[in-house]
Amino acid sequence: MRRDPDTRGYFGEFGGRYVPETLVEPVEELERAYFAVREDAAFATELNRLLKHYVGRPTPVYEATRLAAEAGGARIFLKREDLTHTGAHKINNALGQALLAARMGKRRIVAETGAGQHGVASATACALLGLECHVYMGAEDMDRQALNVFRMRLLGAEVHRVDAGSRTLKDAINEAMRDWVTNVAGTYYLLGSVLGPHPYPLMVREFQSVIGREARAQFLELAGRLPTAIVACVGGGSNAMGIFDAFIEDRGVRLIGVEAGGEQIIRGRHAARFAGGSAGVLQGTRTFILQDDDGNIELTHSISAGLDYAAVGPEHAWLRALGRAEYAHVSDAEALDAFQRLARLEGILPALESAHAIAYASRLARELGPSATLLVNLSGRGDKDVQSVEKAIAKER
């Protein structure tokens, strides 16, 4: 299987470069710069040095025996991206792209953020490299992730409140792109997931693929074989692509992405693109999106800000079309329950995003029985979610 998109940035019929004219040349400039550093040993050495000494890689793979015992079935292993510096996998990509920006001579960084994890990672990378950082964040997300907003400001970033549309991640991306199109010469757009125009979906996957490379070797060492299935949550889908990537050629390993089922799979109350969506173009790429009959983007809902988005990365759409990856969804209530179970049974607070993967893995563990092994990407830690979880639990009672 070919792992790169074609020269126009397509993974099969998904991907491409649907941008306003002003951004065509900047995106091509980015592609040239990225392909140059991709072959550059000095760049890799510098990035690897930071990943090891600054981020704290490799992150461990940990067998969650008490979680598995309660689920009653398969063994469950967690790839601990929550233990990275800043507390989520987002830092892998943010550092890679910030290094690239610096190399391109762009000193002003714009980024979008949903849950705030990519914003914090970008602000961190910019502080480290002495770059100016502007983060766009939906007003609703700023309210539910207030702690991360304050973290970004402490790190020297300017956080811009976005009041348009649904006031969440999608609207933050629109605003970040408007900034980029206006200040294009000296500005680098540090996109946080495997979304947007080519080369972003490829580049972000490559910067995240360190997760799968580590996890595959670690799992083989721990379990003496490959896992039955990999489970990861999918918003845009960068943590999932990051861990799937190393296992694509291992045909016996099931790759399972978990989307946000929200309250229910009815219009506007979820973010499960593969359950309620269809092919379309949003924010630079052709992929599965949630849209109405007129081609307008539907509102989404998820308890987790990081999964609350109307489009999925184009490579996921392709892997699904090929039958190489499967996609499921988990409701707000199941994710909330998994959040509490992992805390109680393993002493780990997962991000609400990652709690979706935990919830699905627990379900799957029962289904597959004790001979199976599951590797779950625990993409981030849940400290940022403590307040919204408290509210949600109070509401449930």
Partner 1 sequence: MSRLAETFRRIKAEGRPGLVTYTTAGDPDLARSAAILEALDRAGADVLEVGVPFSDPLADGPVIQRAAERALAAGSSLRAALALIGQVRPKISAPVVLFSYANPLLRMGLDVFAAESARAGVDGVLALDLPIEEAGGFRDTLAARGVDTIFLLSPTTTEARIRKAAELGSGFLYGISRLGVTGARDRVASGAADLVRRIRAHTSLPIALGFGISRPEHVAEVGVYADAAVVGSALVSVIAEAGTAPDLVDRVEQYVRWLRGAAEGRTQHAHA
Cα separation, 273 vs 271, whole angstroms: 6
**Out of 43, 85, 127, 165, the residue judged to bind partner 1 by CB under 8 A:** 165
Burial 79-100 (b: 16+ CB within 10 A, else e): bbbbbbbbbbbbbbbbbbbbbb
Least separation, in Å, of the C-beta of 18 and partner 1?
Answer: 5
Binding mask 8-37 for partner 1 (x = CB under 8 A): x-------xxxxxxxxxxx-----------
DSSP secondary structure of 163-226? -STTSSHHHHHHHHHHHHHHSTTTEEE---SS-SSTTHHHHHHHHHTHHHHHHHHHHHHHHSS-
Cα separation, 306 vs 233, whole angstroms: 10
**Contact status: 193 vs partner 1 (CB under 8 A):** no
Q: With respect to partner 1, which residue has the nearer C-beta, 72 or 295? A: 295
Q: With respect to partner 1, which residue has the nearer C-beta, 189 or 327? A: 189
| Stretch of 128-136, 179-187, 334-342, 382-390 lying at the interface with partner 1 (CB under 8 A) | 179-187
- Angle in degrees, 0-180, between the axes of helices 90-103 and 200-208, rounded to the nearest 10: 120
Binding mask 293-322 for partner 1 (x = CB under 8 A): xxxxx-------------------------
Binding mask 276-295 for partner 1 (x = CB under 8 A): ----xxxxx----x-x-xxx
Q: With respect to partner 1, which residue has the nearer C-beta, 218 or 291? A: 291
Q: With respect to partner 1, which residue has the nearer C-beta, 20 or 369? A: 20
Least separation, in Å, of the C-beta of 296 and partner 1?
Answer: 4
Look up residue 168 and give its amino acid: T
**Contact status: 223 vs partner 1 (CB under 8 A):** no
Active site residues: 90, 112, 379
**Contact status: 62 vs partner 1 (CB under 8 A):** no
**Contact status: 164 vs partner 1 (CB under 8 A):** yes
Cα separation, 170 vs 114, whole angstroms: 8
DSSP secondary structure of 4-17? S--TTSEETTEE--
Residue 290 pairs in a beta bridge with: none
Q: With respect to partner 1, which residue has the nearer C-beta, 295 or 370? A: 295
Cα separation, 340 vs 66, whole angstroms: 13
| Residue carrying the six token digits 């914003």 | 119
| Stretch of 127-135, 138-146, 178-186, 260-268 lying at the interface with partner 1 (CB under 8 A) | 178-186
Least separation, in Å, of the C-beta of 164 and partner 1?
Answer: 6
- Structure tokens that stand for 259 in this block: 């989307």
Q: With respect to partner 1, which residue has the nearer C-beta, 22 or 387? A: 22
User: Total residues at the site for partner 1 (CB under 8 A)?
Assistant: 37
Can the peptide bond before residue 199 be classed as cis, meaning omega within 30 degrees of 0?
Answer: yes
Which residues of the chain form contacts with partner 1 (CB under 8 A)? 8, 16-26, 164-165, 170-171, 173-174, 177-178, 181-185, 280-284, 289, 291, 293-297
